Amino acid sequence: MKRILSDLRYLQPLLILTWALFQSRALEEEECSTGECGHSHSVGGQAVLEGVMMRGKRSWGIAVRRPSQAIGLHSFLLNDLGKRYPLLKLPILRGVVALGESLTLGIRALGISANLSTGEEIYGEACVPAEDEAKLTKKEIRQKKRQQQTLGWKDMGLSLVIAIFFSIGLFVALPLFIAKELEFMLENAFLFNLVEGVIRVVIFLAYVVIISRIPDLRRVFQYHGAEHKTIHAFEAGEELIPERINKKFSTLHPRCGTAFLLIVMVLAILVFAVVGKPDLWILVASRIVGIPLVAGLSYEVIKYAGRHKDGFLASVVLWPGLGLQRLTTREPSDDQVEVAISSLSEVLRVDGGQEPLPCKMHEAGRVPAPAGA
């Protein structure tokens, strides 16, 4: 239970960053599909526990600072459902698919980082010293691996369930409850949904302000800043040296998906206006069921903004992000930027045609040069 509470303390804010990764994918894909992203790669990222996850064209990787100060690296190939099932690339549907893929990837990355950041050994995946693993038989490695996954993912799964229920209560049920209490003053369904939406935005902003002041979460936001700085440097074609990146680049990035959460909340007002003002439980259910539709619509709005970057809509979509990022990012240390570079380097290595590695280690201060940069 202690481990579950520890995971939950970080998991709730990190779920927001995972959703943000999904939102930013729309803008990244639109810019790079038109050749306007200024580099050959579309790269996105997410802060995790004591590390950074990066996503490339065909792979994703995660780098985590371990208690020994070594950096643990994982890399995996992406499973692009759109390539296997072209129907899923249709408007709206592609947004729903992107949401599912990003949440799955993000939660998996959080599970990996939770283990690596606490120094737990990942048997059978080269995350233990080679000499230690060599002393074990294959059967012993399988047993240790199975035991770890059962315990680790059980804790993470329970933490995730609690975090989801907390999100539903805070961002869905609470705004609806308050709006219902004010229903006598709200004449029509649109006004009711407008008030509910405004309440939700206020709660969300208050939540971000509160968690941004929690000391334990400061490192998560520092890694968020390290991720932005590293992507800035990569897109600018700069040499990836931690000290240089930290001095030269900003923690704010115009493609950060955090800002797009506000777009989702605005679109939700319009979408859920058709539901009317039924009983509270029906309203809550409609919001949960309607999340995929809202996600799909927001994905299309963001892609449109990416095609018309100089237009009014793009300004409206992107402007709130820089202000919100001042709450969700912090200035990182050089060591944290080193972790972000390690994650990016691993993704570029695999995207360059090399095989992904389930896990490998390198010592602090020895960041490998990114392949294909």
pLDDT tens, residue by residue, 37-49: 445 557 888 888 8
Radius of gyration of the chain (CA): 21
Alpha-carbon distance of 114 to 331, in angstroms, equals 22
| Residue among 227, 249, 225, 253 at smallest CA distance from 237 | 249
Residue 131's H or E segment, with its range, is helix 130-134
Predicted confidence band at 28 (pLDDT cuts at 50, 70, 90)? low
Place of tokens 């001042």: 326
| pLDDT > 80? residue 50 | yes
User: Tell me, what's the pLDDT at 250?
Assistant: 92
pLDDT above 70 (res 173): yes
Give the Cα separation of 50 and 120 in Å (integer). Answer: 14
With bands split at pLDDT 50, 70 and 90, how would you rate the model's confidence at 102? Answer: confident
Picking from 171-185, 240-254, 354-368, which range would have the lowest pLDDT averaged per residue?
354-368
Residues 123 and 276: their CA atoms lie apart, in Å, by 54
Q: With 70 as the cut, is the pLDDT of residue 119 above it? A: no
Q: Is the pTM of this model over 0.85?
A: no
Mean pLDDT of 187-199: 90
pLDDT of 369: 52
| pLDDT confidence tier of residue 14, bands split at 50, 70 and 90 | low
- Confidence check: pLDDT of 127 > 70: no
Cα torsion 325, 329, 331, 335: sign = negative
pLDDT at 372: 47
- What pLDDT, on the 0 to 100 scale, is given for residue 340? 95
Q: Is the pLDDT of residue 2 over 50?
A: no
pLDDT of residue 66 exceeding 90, the answer is no
What tens digit of pLDDT does each residue of 267-300 get? Answer: 888 888 888 888 999 999 999 998 888 888 888 8
Residue 180: pLDDT band by 50, 70, 90 thresholds?
A: very high
- Answer whether residue 106 shows pLDDT above 90: no
pLDDT, position 58: 87
What residues contact residue 138 under an 8 Å CB cut-off, 6+ apart? none
Chain-centre distance for alpha carbon 53: 8
Strand ranges (E), 160-288? none
Evaluate whether 133 touches 360 at the Cβ level (below 8 Å). no
Residue 98 and residue 127: Cα distance in Å, rounded?
30
- The reported pLDDT for the residue numbered 3 is 47
Segment 315-341, tens digit of pLDDT: 776 777 677 888 888 999 999 999 999
Q: What is the mean pLDDT of residues 202-221?
A: 83
Instruction: Note the pLDDT of residue 363.
Output: 47
Mean local confidence (pLDDT), 117-145:
50
User: Would you say residue 195 has pLDDT above 80?
Assistant: yes
Query: Which of the listed ranges 10-19, 95-104, 181-190 does the model predict with the highest average pLDDT?
Result: 181-190
Amino acid, single-letter form, for residue 65:
R
Q: Hey, is 49 helix, strand or coil? A: coil
Q: Is pLDDT at 249 greater than 90 in this prediction?
A: yes
